[in-house]
Amino acid sequence: MVLSDNMRGAGLMMVSMAAFTLNDTVMKTLAGELPLFQAIFLRGVLTTLGMALLGRVMGGLRFRLSRRDWGAIALRTFCEGAATFLFLTALFHAPIANVTAILQSLPLTVALGATLFLGEPLGWRRLVAILIGLVGVLIIVRPGAAGFSVWSLYALAAVGFVTIRDLAVRRLSAEVPSLTVALAGAGAITLAAGLASAWQGWVTLGAGQMARLALASLFILAGYLASVMTMRRGEIGFVAPFRYTGILWALALGWLVFGEWPDRLTLLGAAIVVAMGLFTLWRERRARAAGT
């Protein structure tokens, strides 16, 4: 059976989400064993080296960029670093499915941010869907309720920084290679984590911990490579909804590895966020089709 480009793209998107969620799972197993910044630094060293090698093999690196592009990359890198710290802090202390569910609001926040800051059009239907989706996020976070966890605010703050990161990417020139952007971000975050780890302190690694860090780095590289290939296969409007398979991976891995399962309200909030995200993507696809 010959698969269409859309189906290949959908498969690659699911592989990407699986790889990123497996990375999160592996990193979460290190909670309490390694200081956060040491874990980020060591994973970052392996990831940066892997990306540099990947760039050399694929020929996708170019550093002669305009000042405007480097400014956008600097903003993206800062936001990526802040989001990494906030997300992993939340991940180390909260169930992986809860943190991942909050992260599923990204398509909604990016669409809203693009309208507010970049002037991109947003119809009333998508605006209503975004607002309903944000209600779903509040159901997951539940501020002021008995089930509230401060770590949910860390995940919510991570969403904010990732939103700014993605908006900064939209300001980049079309000729800027994705691998250059990713490598610059990975290198800068690794350096910052190394400096912070000197203040936080280090512990001696065992063979199992080193193996898990290497595995996490491998998953990040696999996820990144699959996500880049996704953008080259099929229609984005068809492929993008498959990013929500990440929440399924988070539910399964949270239960299998950590014995975690979200409560009903969290599942309800996650369902609302995913449903509104899918509707927003569908409406965006319809709007683009009408404009062509």
Q: How far is it, in rounded angstroms, from Cα 110 to Cα 286?
A: 18
Q: Give per-residue pLDDT as tens, 207-216.
A: 999 999 999 9
Give 76's contacts (C-beta < 8 A, 6+ positions apart): 165, 168, 169, 181, 185
Under 8 Å between Cβ of 270 and 103: no
pLDDT in tens, 60-105: 788 889 999 999 999 999 999 999 999 999 999 999 999 999 999 9
Alpha carbon distance 185, 17 (integer Å): 20
pTM equals: 0.89
Please determine, for residue 1, whether its predicted confidence score (pLDDT) is greater than 60.
Answer: no
Neighbouring residues of 74: CB distance < 8 A, sequence distance ≥ 6: none
Cα torsion through 268, 270, 273, 276, rounded to 10? -60
- The kind and range of the H/E element at 36 are helix 36-58
State pLDDT tens for residues 133-149: 999 999 998 876 556 78
Q: 258-276 in b/e burial notation, b at 16+ Cβ within 10 A?
A: eebebeeebbebbebbbeb
